[in-house]
Amino acid sequence: MEFAYHCSNTLPKLSWVAIMKKNNDYIDVFHGEWVETNSNFFVEGAWDREFEKGEFDKSSLLMGSGGKIQNNYVVFSTPSHIVERLHIIRKKDKLYISNSLVFVLTMTNEKLDLDYSIYESDFSLGSEYIPLQGNQQLEMYYYCNLLIDKELNINKTLKSNSVKFSTYKEYYDFLLTSLKNISNNAISDKRKIKYDLISTISTGYDSAACSALAAELGCKTVLTFNHPKKYREDSGEEIARLLGYENIIKKSANEYLENNNFGEAEFLSTGELGSSIVMASFEEGIQQKMVLTGYYGDSVWNKNDKRISSSILPTPPIPNSLYEFRFRVGFIYIPLPMFGCTNYKLIHNISNSKEMEKWSLGNDYDRPIPRRIVEEKGVKRELFGFRKNGLGFNYSNSSLRRIKKRMSKKSFKSFKEYYKKNKSIKRLICNYKHIFCYSMFFLITLINFILNKVGIKNIINSNFLPKKYICNPFSPAMLFHWGVSKTSERYKGYNIQSKID
């Protein structure tokens, strides 16, 4: 078997699509300029082994995605986190595999179903596929390797997981060594594109711990928000200075509102309704960087979390809205708390061990591991980890009026026109169950809110309603469709179909 590469400077830098034809030895790979290509593997991202050996399929710490020829099959590897995934569409005797949902839709000429209102739930609940027009479907794969043979049979396998730790020191050393190895991979001389480490920081636990670890590896630059008020109070500038950072990039989380190029669309096109849009403020500072974040720390490092299992899928939503932005700009995303997270029970045991009592606050917002990491770097206890502010927002249950306030003028005008053009009586009839359940959920939420005001706590439970129907079936349910419609334009300029027929 052999890869046939087709590079284009009109595609997003890190996007790729592979096409496998039944019983054919050649696999066509269409990709952006920054995808690394080798005779037997291609990859966008970095991992904890030597780059030139291409052993990302054997790693549990692949920060990106790729494909590799191995004997008579091809191994496609998803990222070792759940922020991104791989997408597959089957068409007759061909299989299309991509790290981009929009790319695989565009090059197969498949369409979303305009009358389908619960795409958001499909993504947030970790569904394995989504329906498309004409009884077609798009398959989705998280945190795994896919072995595909010449007959186009798919064998899904678990990623390697041989790391064990029982003490804080063992876990700390694992995090630091893993990050160092990934960083070395990212600056390998065998690469055409190299990436330097950069971290995010706030007054919360998780990003502060990430920045503390990054500083130990010589990282000099951090990103933090300092506007509007919510973010000003959560700015990590003071902590960054105490950790020795020399370059602190401060931005307003509302900068995206000034965009004039439908900037919100690439975030919405992922199926998650906007939690990471605020990261657009840092576009100029993160190109060709490895961006370290504290995503998933609220699960992995939460001492009070009761979900003790080896599963890496969290409760919804899964904030996966970064990847089209990442592919276009060109950076590697590293959610450090997900390192070794399939050993969640071991991490949870460390958080609740006697050796960590000194760093436990005994409250609901209690994360001894990141607290110890940061405090042992000289940061005073009272400077971080006392309130959870969270990053960004979500359009999920917004009215059209509220969406307008959270979109740039040009984007909202475009979305409103799209929504009015495509909403219909037929769509309402097709989604009557969704509308009924959402109305019930909204009513229960309102009643509980009123009762809480007079001291009566959550007397009505909404758990009897199907989770897939509690997202808004009206204007927010069309944001994904609009985002895909707009983002597909960056892929339509490259005529892939003519090259493979």
Where do the structural domains in the chain lie, given as residue ranges?
Answer: 2-160, 168-383, 400-489
Instruction: List phi, psi (to 5°) of 334.
Output: -130, 100
What's the chain's length in residues?
501
What percentage of the chain reaches a pLDDT higher than 90?
79
Q: Give the integer Cα–Cα distance in Å for 64 and 51.
A: 13
Distance of CA 59 to the CA centre of its chain: 19
- Give the span between the Cα atoms of 406 and 263, in whole angstroms: 12
CA distance 457 to 494: 56
d(CA 468, CA 141): 19
Query: 345 pLDDT exceeds 50?
Result: yes
168-383 folds as: Rossmann fold (3.40.50)
Buried b (16+ CB within 10 A) or exposed e, 406-441: bbbeebbebbbebbeeeeeeebeebbeebbebbeeb
CA 405 – CA 25 distance, rounded (Å) = 52
Q: What is the pLDDT of residues 432-484, one digit of tens each?
A: 999 999 999 999 999 988 988 888 887 888 889 998 998 899 999 999 999 99
Would you say 207 and 391 are in contact if contact means Cβ atoms under 8 Å apart?
no
Q: Is the pLDDT of residue 239 over 90?
A: yes
E strand residue ranges, 23-126:
26-31, 36-37, 41-46, 63-70, 73-77, 86-91, 94-98
- Is-above-0.85 flag for pTM? yes
What is the per-residue pLDDT for 495?
53
Please say if the pLDDT value at position 313 is more than 60: no
Structure tokens at 373: 């990491």
Sign of CA dihedral 299, 300, 305, 309: positive
According to the model, what pLDDT value does residue 309 have? Answer: 62
Q: What is the pLDDT of residues 391-443, one digit of tens each?
A: 678 898 899 999 999 999 999 999 999 999 999 999 999 999 999 999 999 99
Beta carbons of 125 and 138 less than 8 angstroms apart: no
Average pLDDT, the chain: 92
DSSP per-residue string spanning 257-270: GG-SS-THHHHHTT
